[in-house]
Structure 1
Amino acid sequence: MRLDSVTVTIVTYNSARVIERCLDCVLAQDYGSLDVVVVDNASKDATRHILAGYEGRIRVIYNPRNTGFSAGQNLAIRATRSDWVLTLNPDVFLLPDFVSQLVEATRIDRRIGTVCGRLLRIQSDGSPLHERRIDSAGIFFTSTARHFDRGWNEPDDGRYGQTEYVFGACAAAALYRRKMILDVAQSDGFFDPDFFSYREDADVAWRAQLLGWRCLYVHTAESYHVRRMLPGSRNSVPAVLNMHSVKNRFLMRVKNMTGDLYRRIWFPTTARDVLIIGGCLFYEPTSLSAFWHTLTSLRRAINKRRDIMARRRVTDDYLAGWFQQHATAQPVPEAAVSEVYR
């Protein structure tokens, strides 16, 4: 039986500290049909020199300027023809069977468009934590229209220890089906370039859910992530990224929020919006420009919304079931799992 082809796409920007280990882990995968495409966003450190050392084993596209994660990934994806695309951050280190575990699990359901494994935390110097802790077991949305990584910083003690459906995947290490990429992509690409960076994976997940695609979390596929942007530590994040975070919260809602869902969660969502606006006014004025950038992108966002809503394939009740107070998941039928792993 022919193996599904997989391409790993990586966007680098001043990633010299981590990219060599990342690539070595990718090239050590036990999966037999794997290609690698790296887009370098005009790095100023030794990243390009390191990438040159992998000539013949990977394909590198050199951007003349930093176009951000979204546009960089779109460029890499357009350079691929594989059945699946694994988006990977340069600070993620895969265990050798990560790709094969994910691809094997896709046989469970043809509606699976995204697959993610268990991302575990690792220290900035690449050494393990004293206690194994989870970085992401998929992403979920709350009734305030915020999204989080499931299990973030929780002990890896057996929780999230089953394969199940989740709302979406953290794009630091997410496997996307080609058919879904083509279905979900809009005129300017799979990831929205207006987002530049941050929340682009949540936007893709929401679009995919609206169009009837499912996301599978595979608990046996493990990797490690050196996360630089830690939840709840905005002061340690560059101001421009905080600004994009605020902007993208509103752009994502303009594009994907249905009228019925807004009717159900309007009060907690609006209360959160008031807090965000107040925070920008009194504590984080560097993010106030997010509202101007949102306005300049509004017409494009509305046009994208028309396209998404015209092709929507799920019911209001199904969608609302994902926007709860706490992390939600849906079980995979035991018969489907048994058929794959018998």
Structure 2
Amino acid sequence: MNDTAVVIVNWNGKPMLKNCLDSLRAQTFKNFEVFLVDNGSIDGSAEFVEKEYPEVHLIKLKKNTGFAGGTNAGIRKALENQKIKYLVTINNDTKADKFFLQKLVEVAEKNPSAGAVAPKMKYFYQENLVDSVGILIHRDGGGVSRGNKQMDSGQYDQQEEIFGVCAGAALYRRSALEEVMENGEIFDEIFFAYYEDLDLAWRLRLAGWKAISCPQATIKHIHSATAISYSPFKAFQVNRNRFFVILKNYPFRFMLYALAITPMRYLRLINSIRIKQGPSHKLKEKAGIFSPFIIVLKGWVSVIWNLKAMLRKRKIIQKNKKVSNKEINQWFEKYSATIEEMIYK
């Protein structure tokens, strides 16, 4: 009986699919199905999967609906099978260790209060570097990968409660996802890409679900293989979606504080450009000196355009909140990212 579904979203990622799908074929855990959503690729990805991996459930979309829309399409198809208990999302530019699924499912089975489980993600070409073991948060609405770019010296080798998981590789409990679903969407499709997993992590935590790390489940990740690192697209999405996270999920006093300290965030970003350090500097080098400022302005316009929809979702999320503001404040203290991690890394 297959009780686990693996959902992969692909957009013109044919060169990466063999590593990803071969690693799933090699899993010690066998009770799973694979759903690959092709987001309107024009590089022959869909034809390659049909020919070489007939066991994969292929879902062809006519256009690129982003990570959020693509993953939702795969999850909807997977959930047609009522026996599915767990949804595992992995990026198309990953290669899973053979015990990956086995370890994730074992931890989920032993921790029924966990709505999500995070593996240890490592960089594909630098296996001694951590990519992510969950998500860290900040009071300004931001989020970063826990442990990102740190040397892997065993500091994350203990299973422990974390704030949330990075959807680049994660296990989600079906019942948890169904509880926080928004109009049939697991990931908010207005986000399109980036921070959609942070938004989902917030919704799960506010609904009372926990998240746990499972460092014994390992997976290698190329990182930003489809969306180029430090691209204007990625910068726009992250800047805009940070506001969406605040507007939807932060209780009123936390929301006011996050908006109040946003100018400080921008000053730090400007400083990172001045001292030539961090993603904003690299974006400026790639796209021009005015690109960060243009991206911020475009983000504000998009936030205003989508404000009504965000506030409508906020009303439902806050109404169904099962945790106290005191507990939320404790999350910020326990799972907080540093300014170094947020701005300069």
Shift in CA distance, 303/184, structure 1 to aligned 2, threshold 3 Å? same
Task: Please name the residue that 2:5 is paired with.
Answer: 7
Amino acid at match of 1:65: K
1:133-282 correspondence runs (5 A) = 133-228=129-224, 236-262=229-255, 268-272=261-265, 282=290
Q: Report the RMSD for the aligned CA atoms in angstroms.
A: 2.5
User: Cα deviation per residue 1:257-306 (whole Å; 9 max; x = unaligned)?
Assistant: 11243466665445225666998995524413222211121111111001
Q: Is the 8 A contact 2:14 2:45 kept in 1?
A: yes
The answer to whether the 8 A contact 1:229-1:237 is kept is no
Instruction: Tell me which of 83, 94, 97 is aligned to 2:96.
Output: 94
- For structure 1, which segment, 213-222 or 281-290, has the greater mean C-alpha deviation from structure 2 after superposition? 281-290
Structure 2 vs 1, CA of residues 297 and 169 (structure 1 numbering), >3 Å: closer, same or farther? same
Going from structure 1 to structure 2, the CA distance change for 1:302 and 1:262 (only over 3 Å counts) comes to: closer
2:36 is the counterpart of 1:38: yes
Any idea what the Cα deviations from partners look like across 1:19-65, whole Å, max 9, x if unmatched?
Answer: 11101111211112100111101112131232122453111011111
3-state secondary structure, aligned to 1:295: helix
**2:114–2:209: 8 Å Cα contact kept in structure 1?**
yes
**Is residue 239–residue 286 contact of structure 1 (8 Å, CA) maintained in 2?**
no
Q: Which amino acid aligns with 1:111?
A: S
| 1:317 CA displacement | 1.4
Tell whether the 8 Å contact from 1:143 to 1:324 is kept in structure 2 after alignment. no
Deviations 1:284-341 (A, max 9, x none): 244132222111211111110011011000111111112138758xxxxxxxxxxxxx
Measure the CA separation in 1 of the matches of 2:124 and 2:53. Answer: 28
- Please tell me the residue identity of whatever aligns with 2:76: R
Alignment partner, residue 49 of structure 2: 51
The CA distance in 1 between the partners of 2:124 and 2:106, in whole Å, is 26
Query: Relative to structure 1, is the Cα distance of residues 292 and 210 closer, same or farther in structure 2, using a 3 angstrom cutoff?
Result: same
> Distance in 1 between the 2:26 and 2:44 partners?
23
Give the superposition deviation at 1:4: 7.0
Assess if the C-alpha contact under 8 Å between 2:103 and 2:217 holds in 1: yes
The corresponding residue for 2:340 is: none
| 2:203 match: secondary structure | helix
Normalized against structure 2, the TM-score is what?
A: 0.85
What residue in structure 1 maps to residue 109 of structure 2?
Answer: 107
TM-score normalized with structure 1 length: 0.86
CA contact (8 A) 1:168 1:205 kept: yes
**Range 61-70 or range 144-153, more displaced:** 144-153
Deviation at 1:84, TM superposition (A): 0.6
SS at match of 1:170: coil
Per-residue deviation, 1:228: 2.1
CA distance in 2 between partners of 1:10 and 1:166 (Å): 24
* Percent of aligned pairs with the same amino acid: 28
Which consecutive residues of structure 2, in runs of 5 or more, have no partner in the other structure?
Answer: 272-279, 338-345
- What is the SS of the residue equivalent to 2:306? helix
Q: Kindly tell me: are residues 108 and 327 of structure 1, through their superposed partners in 2, closer, same or farther at Cα, counting changes over 3 Å? A: farther
CA offsets 1:216-241 (integer angstroms, 9 cap, x no match): 101211110101279xxx99433222
Q: Residues 325, 176 of structure 1: CA spacing in aligned structure 2 closer, same or farther, 3 A cutoff? A: closer
| Whole-Å separation in 1 of the counterparts to 2:43 and 2:114 | 39
- For 1:132, which of 113, 118, 128 is the aligned residue? 128
- Contact kept? 1:91, 1:225, Cα under 8 Å: yes
The CA distance in 2 between the partners of 1:33 and 1:49, in whole Å, is 25
SS in 2 for 1:215: strand
Deviates more, 1:296-305 or 1:283-292: 283-292
Q: Which runs of 5+ in 1 are unaligned?
A: 124-128, 329-342
Equivalent AA in structure 1 for residue 86 of structure 2: W
Aligned partner of 2:72 in structure 1 is 74
Mapped contact 1:4–1:83 kept (Cα < 8 A): no
- The amino acid across from 1:242 in the alignment is A
C-alpha distance in structure 2 between counterparts of 1:99 and 1:156, whole Å: 21
AA paired with 2:142? R
Counterpart for residue 119 of structure 1: 121
Distance between the aligned counterparts of 1:320 and 1:229, measured in 2?
35
